[in-house]
Each structure stands twice: as structure tokens, then as C-alpha cells.
Chain A
Amino acid sequence: MDNALEISGLKKVYKGGFTALKGIDLIVKQGDFFALLGPNGAGKSTTIGIITSLVNKSAGSVKVFGHDIDKELEKAKSFLGLVPQEFNFNQFETLLTILVNQAGYYGVERPLAFQRAEKYLKQLDLWEKRNDAGRMLSGGMKRRLMIARALMHEPQMLILDEPTAGVDIELRRSMWEFLRELNQQGITIILTTHYLEEAEMLCRNIAIIDSGVIVEDTDMKSLLSKLDQETIVLDIDKITEAPKLDEFTTRLIDDHTLEVDVKKSQLVNHVFSQLSAKNINVHSMRNKSNRLEELFVSLVGSGQNVNQESK
């Protein structure tokens, strides 16, 4: 299967000397649902900007479905749909105008563009607002409008830069479902997000970028399998001090909340059996943090080390 995206030795040095990318390599397979994660200022948006030609690269190459952006930029662009982080549509134009004009930039005739606009506005629950100006929409609606706009030319690859930022959880979940359906239809999706739960739920492969360097590039399962310890939080009967459990580290957070560190090789059953033996009832249990979040924090820490070494 062809690669949807091939990035090789990509560097970006901004005016003033700030190096945003230090020669990254990245491959995204066709049909993939790919997460590009990293802290603020890591280089995610610069990478996306270069792929979509909004940022000029300093060195390296980018191929979109085999088309080099240096040699066949227009061809490469025709495969891409972009949902940027910032709202970047004309605030005074109506939703229909925004969508139909955008389709026109890709050579879609107006009658077909109107059909597609209706389809995507209905799918994204914006049809009732079709004649409203963009500025009249709520934040969540604006995000959905940008997704509809990116789909108007039916791209083979969709790049979403923080698509669910500031969106409430109910809407976020409906957007996840919509993106999953698009991916099932064969559209390659690249997603950057701050919600690591989002990446874990949606994406099959993942790259983590930090300080302009890719510190991890693997599939989600392999990455999560690297996590050798999780912390579970138990809501328990009132106790005054943390119980000592064989082979487990415990911490009493308050008189009803106990944290227990569980290694990958250990069974949670043993926690419960030991607590039962001590007559401590457990009312509920949850993970202290998202699994990916724990890995992310540890990897980004090592990324900083890489950065320091490369200076």
C-alpha cells in the first residue's frame, strides 16, 4: 500500500533563528488514523503548515501520496484537506458561501458544490445555520464548519490540528464518531490533539514530537505496552492510614481515597483480595490518569534530553 505522507529530513528555521524542526522523518500509511502529539511549541503546527504549504520549509522533503511538494505542489495539495487550529474562515460570509467557494478553489463546479455543502452541513448538524454568517456560530459549530469545509473537495487525506479544542464532551464524542466513519471510508486522517484520550481512542499509529524532534513513532498498542505501571484510585470505607499490601505501593490521599501502584506483571485481583482480608470495602475504582498521558509525560521528558544533547 502506498504511503499517504512521507516526510524526510524536514527542517524549519524561522526568521530570528528559532529552529522549530530539526530534521524529522515521518511516514503515514494510506488509510491510517495517525496521531501527532507533542507539547505546545513542539513543532506540530509547523509540520502541518509545511505539508499544507502555509509554512516554507528550510530543508528536507515532503511527499503527499507520492507527489513531492517541491515538484508537484498543486497535485499534492489536491489530496489534502486541512482543519486548522485557528478559525480562519471569513466571519462575514454565510456558511454556504464559505463551503461553495472553498470547493471552487479545488475545481468543483458550483451545482456539485451546493450538493456537497448540503450533505456535510446536514451530517455535521449545521444545515439550519447555512444562511448565517460565520461569526454567528458558537465555538463548536465553527469547528464543525471547518471540518465541512475541509471535506468539500473530498480529499484523500484529512489533517486536523486540535479539532476538538474547546468543544464540550458530548460534541467531541459525536465528532470522534464522524471522524471514525470518514476513516472507515478510506480517508487517511492525521490528528494533533491535547486530549490524549482522543488519540488513544481514535488513532492506530502515533508519533510524538518534542522540541522539533520525533521522540516516538510507533503503533498505539506497542506504545501503550511500554507502560509498565499504572496507578489506580480506589474509593473506600473511611480509614486513617494507608494499608500495607504485599508487593504494592499504596498512598492514602484522604480518608476515603487510596492510590495503589500496579505493575504490568501484577494482578489487580491481589489488591482487592488483600483489602478484603483487611475488611476494607472498595466502592469504586478508576485510573489515576489516561495511560497515554503517563507515557507522553515520560517521553516528552526524554525528548528534552535529546534536545539538550543535540545542541
Chain B
Amino acid sequence: MKIKVSQTSQTPIYEQIEQQIRQQIFSGELKAGEQLLSIRALARELRIGIITAKRAYDDLCNENILVSRQGKGVYVAELDRELLREKRCSDFRKQAQQLITAGREAGLTLEEIHEILEEEGKSGAFL
């Protein structure tokens, strides 16, 4: 688990933590069942208040992304793979919509955008 927080950001610290943990779970960096740092260890690691660290974990537990086991610690929840895939698919769809809008603004037709996507996909340059 790698988390960085900015004390001067407009985004509250607990939200910065939540975003990064969520992202790492969806990307597979954090695996189901993996144990996270304890609340107090996280506070120490990030140099933040204990209540702030607790808030971040509590929120993610309420989203059922993390599970807290009394006296044992906080773990990444066993997420429903099908559900996770759907979620990631819908996230990608949103990004695709933005990409198409950007393409249209650049004066490209849908066919041209499609061609670019295929070319880039085949060249594998993004890897």
C-alpha cells in the first residue's frame, strides 16, 4: 500500500487516502484479503491525526471495499469479481465518452477516432 497525502491540497486528507486506496484496489495492486496498516500505523506513516486515518478506513468499510475485523485489523474485502468488472467497465465508458468529446472538438469524425484507437491498440505503444 503506497499512499501519499498533501497537507496543502484542497481535498481533505481522508478523501485523498480513500481515493488512493480505492484506485489501488480496482487496479489490482491491493488484493482481496490483503491486510492494510492499522489506523495508528497509517497515521504515523502519513503524519496525520488518528481520527483522520480512522475516518478514511470507516468510509471505505461503509462502501464494503474494506472490512474491519475486531481486534485483528483492516483487510481488503472479497469483492464480487463480476461486480468489480462492471464497475471498471462503466468507469472506462465514462473515460471513452470524454475521449470522443475531445476528438470531436479536434474536428475528428467517429470513423477517424475509431481508426486512431485501433492503430494505437495494435502498435502497443501504451504498454
Do chains A and B interact in one complex?
no
Chain A interface (Cβ < 8 Å from any Cβ of B)? none
Chain B interface (Cβ < 8 Å from any Cβ of A)? none
